[in-house]
Structures are given as C-alpha cells and as structure tokens.
Structure 1
Amino acid sequence: MFSKQDDTMSVSLKSLNTFGIQANAEQVIYADNEHQLRTAWQDAVQKKKPAIILGGGSNILLLSDFSGSVILNRLCGITIHETEDAWHLHVGAGENWHGLVKYTLNKGIAGLENMALIPGCVGSAPIQNIGAYGCELQNVCEYVDCLNLVSGARKRLSAQECQFGYRDSVFKHSEMADTAIVAVGISLSKDWRPILNYGDLKQLDAETVTPRQIFDVVCHMRRSKLPDPDITGNAGSFFKNPVVNEQQAKLLLQHHPDAPYYLQPDGSIKLAAGWLIDRCELKGYRYGGAAVHRKQALVLINVGDATGQDVVALARHVRRCVGETFNIWLEPEVRFIGSQGEINSVETIA
C-alpha cells in the first residue's frame, strides 16, 4: 500500500523514532515495493526537497523538523533456500530484525540468537553492521541487494563489497546517498557453534546449550539492562565502544586494572564505553529532558519530552567528561538527522 500524509510540516515523527523525539516532516510515505520507494524519492528530488529513508527509526536522533519527505521502507518477505551445508535466507529490508531472529529459531535454524532484541528493521542492519554478544551481521551476511533511486538499477553487493567494519559499512559513505537497501541475504551454517563469550552467556555449557537457551539469556540480559523504548525513549547504545591501540589500552589498564577490554583480530583493543561513562559518575546525569540511563551508562534516554538538542548537549557533556578523564574520545553510534538529512554526529557533539 502506497500512502502519504502531506500537510506542510505537520506530520509528527514522534512515533516513528524510538527516542520519542517530537519533530515534524512535510510528509511521511509508506513504501511497500521498490517502485513506490523510487517514486517517492524522485518526487522529492523533483520538488527540490530532501528525502530520507527510515526503517524502524531505532538508531536515529532527530535534531529538528525535517524539511522534506520521510520514506518508510516496508519491503517485506522471507524466503529460505536450503543446501547441504547451510540455510540461505533472502529477507526484505522492511522486516523486523527481532522478528527475523524468532522466525529462524521457530524454523529450527540457528545463528542469529546472539543478536536477539536488537531493535530496527533488516534493511538497517548492514548500514550499522549491527552486533551484540560476540556476533555481528558481517558474520552471517551473504549479500545486500540495493536499488539506485536515480536510475532504478538493482545491484547485489557481496559481503566483502559492503566493507563492513565496527558499526560501519559502505552504506554510510557519500557514494551510497542515492541508494536504498531492499533486501539482505543471510547464510546460516548447519555446523552451528555457540558463541558464549559475553555476560551471562559464559555460564552456559557449550556442550549442551541450545540456540533457544542462548536466545532466552540474551533477551533477559537486554531487558534487565536496557530500557524498553515503548516505555522510555532511547536509541539503544548511544556511543560506539572505542577501539584503541595496545599502548593506549596498557596506559588505561595500569591505572584501572578492572577495566573490561576485548582483543580484536588486528591487535587493537576494544574498550567498554559504558564502563568509561560510569567511571565518570554520569549515571543519572540529566540535561533538559535527556539523561544517562541509571542501569546502563551507554544508553541516553528521553525522560521528559526531550528535544534533539537536549540529547546533543548531554552527549557532548558525556564525551567531554570521558575525554578529559581518560583521553579517549567517544563517537556516537546513533545517526543524527537534521532538517536536510543526516549530519556528522562527531562534529555535532565535538
């Protein structure tokens, strides 16, 4: 169904972003297929208006009213092709990610359980290279299908061509500005091996654990530590966990031997941003209607009709405190959306 609401600057986006930020757009368009997606985009271009494509609105911060069209990608559908070694899923970009995780488990297909309860749609997963508890999308991604919104050409990018990094991919770069993700290919090996390196998962027995048990533990951990966006507005982890070199990590650990750290394949060290923020005694710190979550310092929350600027000011304060204390400068994981589209989040809070 192709529908829109188009009273100038009167369409509220509050229910379309998990932060619950009140902002308006000129129009909101629901696109159920590629033709509708491209038509909505081209209509905005012809009117010389900005356009942005959203999925679940779970990883964005609206800084102001949006001066154009918000296009909601609702391309759905899941197909499964089974081979001797794996299940190959072709998933529409508009499918809910957690819904996909449950769907695969109900089909007896393992491999996504560590990424349960990550909010948002499947089409957003490659952009951020989403991940949790030792697993990232790049570990299971086979390809990403893209639509050029100008030419209408369809292109399939291999996982290697997606240039996945930590919360990064080619889709964040300017050359992909006129491209929409329409489907994601996921390959889940039948040679399933549990990933139990984080949190309460360490208590599970690798020899007997089932994918469903991992799913249940992951859901419990997330629900016990992270606020429900339906109750308290938030965008999940607000900052990336900083990745530093060995020398920086050693310096930190000399003064703080209890600091959690994770050795990366390239020899760099990933630190826990939440721990750094917590050590600055910022849990519960509030600016306007925004605050640092009391249970998980990595999450910034909307506690009282926060504006985007409230969250920016809070994030700037958090970044400065961590930087001045540890000489480690945090970068937002959340994408910042201004009146004309996405803007540089690091520069905004610098």
Structure 2
Amino acid sequence: MNPLHAPPVVETDVDLRPYNSFALPARARRLIRLRSEADLRWVINHPEWGPVPKFILGGGSNLVLTRDVQALVLKVEVLGRRLWDDGDSWVVEGGAGECWHDFVQWTLQQGAPGLENLSLIPGTVGAAPVQNIGAYGVEVQDRFESLDTVDLMTGRTVTLDRAGCRFGYRDSVFKQHLKDRSVILRVRFRLPKSWRPELGYLDLQRAAEQAGVAEPTAQQVADWVCAIRRAKLPDPAQIGNAGSFFKNPVVSEAVCREVIARDPHLVHYALPDGRYKLAAGWLIDACGWKGKSIGGAGVYEKQALVLVNRGDARGGEVLTLAQAIQASVLARFGVVLEAEPVVV
C-alpha cells in the first residue's frame, strides 16, 4: 500500500435512497467511495475488505433495490475528462464517476460531436458501457474506443476494446462474466471528425422539420433529444424511476407477423439481420397498463415503458408490477419482455 495515500472511509449503515434513481428504501451495511485507482487498490489489498463479496454502484439509474445490501458497496466516484486529436477522430475520455449527460455536453463544448443522441440519459460514464446505453439510433458500442478496468480478484488493470466488452442489446460482459468482478475506472470514445447527424428516428425528423433546419448542428440535435426525452420521461429528481424498464423485444419475422395479425397497429422496426424490434411501450400500453399502479409503484402516464415510484414504493412492489406487465404481454401477444434494470 502507498504510505502517502489517505485510505477511503468505510461508511456503515448507509441509506441508499439518494443513490438509486427509483428512490427505493434500502441500506448498505458497509460502503466505500472510490475516488481514485489508489482507493480501489487499498480495498483489494486490505486484509478485511479485500476478500469479502462486493457490489459495484455507479449512478444507481438502472437498479431496483428490493432489500438491504449485505455485500461491501463500492460506490464509483472517479472523475476526470480528457480529449485528444487522433488524426481523423477525436478521442474523449471520462472518469467512471462522471455524470453521463454532463460528459456528453462537455464533448460538444469541446467541438467533438458524436454522442449527442445519447443526451440526458441518466447515470455515469462508467455505467454507459455496462448497459451499452442507446437512444435515437445510436448505442455506446457505435462510438466506443476502450476502457480501463481493475479485476477485483487479481488487482490487475486491464484495457478492453470493443470486442473485449462483448456488447449486445443493452448488454455487455460486465452484466455477464465480469458482473461484480471488475471495476471500470475510465472510458474512452472515438468520435470521427467527419460528423453527420443521426436523424433516423421519426421524433428527430419531426423536430428538424418543425425547426426548419435541414442540416442541424450537433448541439441542435442534443437540444432536440433533451426536449423529446423531457416530454416523454419523468425527471428522477422529481419522480423516482429507472428510465425505460423493459428492453424492446427482438423477434423473428414470423413472430412479428403473428403479432401484427393480432393487432395491425403494432409499432415495429426492421433490423439489418432480418429480425424485428417491437416497441415494448406500445405492447404494454395495448395491454392497458398506462397509469395503473400496484402499491406505490406505477406505470407512467406519458410513457408505458417507464415504471415510477408514486412516493412510497418498495422494491418488491416495483418487481410485482413488472412481473404482472410481463405476464399480460406474454398472454396477449406471445412476446417475452425482459427487464433492463438490475434487481437486488
């Protein structure tokens, strides 16, 4: 251990409501804030804290807490932003604890566009590749360069490229093989200088038409994305939620045709591989769930894909509501909805 490094404080019996965007009641038996790589190495090498089970917590925006957390909570708060010129691209780097939206806005201020379609997504930079966040035609994997992560078992720092992260639809190796085994410290994105706006989604096309702008700037696209998201999604600071609760199911052409036969108004999108992505929010709304509640957990009135905390919800109520919705969609359409948030 570095004798010059001041060790982090081990906090006890920590209220986790401020650290999950659903604002669900739960407590952490022990919590350590990681503000540097040295903090993490102190934990790994510590005779008491090194061997114990650990739970990695970022911004808590993709989390449903149904109970207190007995594992040692490692709250990642590593900051830092960098940008450098790499020929035909800009490379931007963010500490894992940086607020994602603030980081996106910073890249635009630096004249490095490319992440604007991902504006206003809650969470941290470190959580973005874990979830492979995406919106309005862009996913993290489309702009990803590499990240630095530390193995909690060996203490080794490893740099992973796109292939190493094994990105999938709202998925990565960090939700599978490396779950709670690896802590991300820094993430880098490659943003080509030959930038063109991504306006494939109808909402963005309408925004461009309404503004009378044929060739928008990246900041204009970011502003439109923010306005669209604010109109559809509740602010977690006002109403507890975890954003889109279910993944849009991806099905075969045959299954898509079966669902359309039941309801020709199905909202769906063709994918390059011949499969179809179905709009989960539409499926839920068609089953009559919009605005409904179970206990303190409810379905948001403006967007059926979002589950909310009405003010006093517990994690078990959110989970019960989600399971009831899944059962309804399966019974009516024969389609399985998969939840996005991690349930603890």
The equivalent residue for 2:67 is 64
Residue 158 (structure 1) shift:
1.0
Does residue 247 (structure 1) correspond to residue 254 (structure 2)? The answer is yes
Closer/same/farther in 2, CA of residues 87 and 291 from structure 1, 3 Å limit? same
Closer/same/farther in 2, CA of residues 190 and 218 from structure 1, 3 Å limit? same
8 Å contact from structure 1 (residues 2, 30) kept in 2: no
Closer/same/farther in 2, CA of residues 44 and 309 from structure 1, 3 Å limit? farther
Pick one of 33, 37, 59 that aligns with 1:34.
37
Mean CA deviation greater in 128-137 or 196-205: 196-205
Does residue 4 (structure 1) correspond to residue 12 (structure 2)? The answer is no
Counterpart of 1:100 in 2: which secondary structure? helix
Does residue 147 (structure 1) correspond to residue 150 (structure 2)? The answer is yes
Closer/same/farther in 2, CA of residues 307 and 49 from structure 1, 3 Å limit? farther
Counterpart of 2:329 in 1: which secondary structure? helix
The equivalent residue for 2:185 is 182
8 Å contact from structure 2 (residues 43, 49) kept in 1: no
Does residue 281 (structure 1) correspond to residue 281 (structure 2)? The answer is no
Residue 42 (structure 1) shift:
5.6
8 Å contact from structure 1 (residues 41, 51) kept in 2: no
Give structure 1 regions of 4+ aligned residues with deviation exceeding 6 angstroms: none
Residue 148 (structure 1) shift:
1.1
The equivalent residue for 2:316 is 309
**Residue deviations 1:92-125 (CA, integer Å, cap 9, x gap):** 1111110111001111211011000000001111
**Residue deviations 1:251-270 (CA, integer Å, cap 9, x gap):** 11233222111111221111
Closer/same/farther in 2, CA of residues 30 and 246 from structure 1, 3 Å limit? same
Gaps of 5+ in 2: 1-5
8 Å contact from structure 1 (residues 44, 50) kept in 2: no
Aligned residue runs from structure 1 range 159-198, under 5 A: 159-198=162-201
Aligned residue runs from structure 1 range 177-326, under 5 A: 177-203=180-206, 204=208, 207-326=214-333
Closer/same/farther in 2, CA of residues 223 and 45 from structure 1, 3 Å limit? farther
Residue 145 (structure 1) shift:
1.3
The equivalent residue for 2:79 is 76
Closer/same/farther in 2, CA of residues 314 and 108 from structure 1, 3 Å limit? same
AA at the equivalent of 2:172 = S
Gaps of 5+ in 1: 338-350
Q: Take 1:52 and 1:108, find their aligned partners in 2: how far apart are those partners?
A: 36
AA at the equivalent of 2:24 = I
Matched length: 335
AA at the equivalent of 2:232 = K
Q: Taking structure 2 as the reference length, what is the TM-score of the superposition?
A: 0.93
Q: Take 2:44 and 2:317, find their aligned partners in 1: how far apart are those partners?
A: 30
Residue 51 (structure 1) shift:
1.7
**Residue deviations 1:77-100 (CA, integer Å, cap 9, x gap):** 111111231101122111111011
Closer/same/farther in 2, CA of residues 258 and 290 from structure 1, 3 Å limit? same
Residue 174 (structure 1) shift:
2.9
Does residue 19 (structure 1) correspond to residue 26 (structure 2)? The answer is no
8 Å contact from structure 1 (residues 44, 68) kept in 2: no
8 Å contact from structure 2 (residues 44, 50) kept in 1: no
8 Å contact from structure 1 (residues 226, 296) kept in 2: yes
Same amino acid, percent of matched pairs: 44
Residue 175 (structure 1) shift:
4.4
Q: Take 2:268 and 2:299, find their aligned partners in 1: how far apart are those partners?
A: 22
**Residue deviations 1:286-325 (CA, integer Å, cap 9, x gap):** 1111001110000000003111100010001000011101
Mean CA deviation greater in 307-316 or 21-30: 21-30
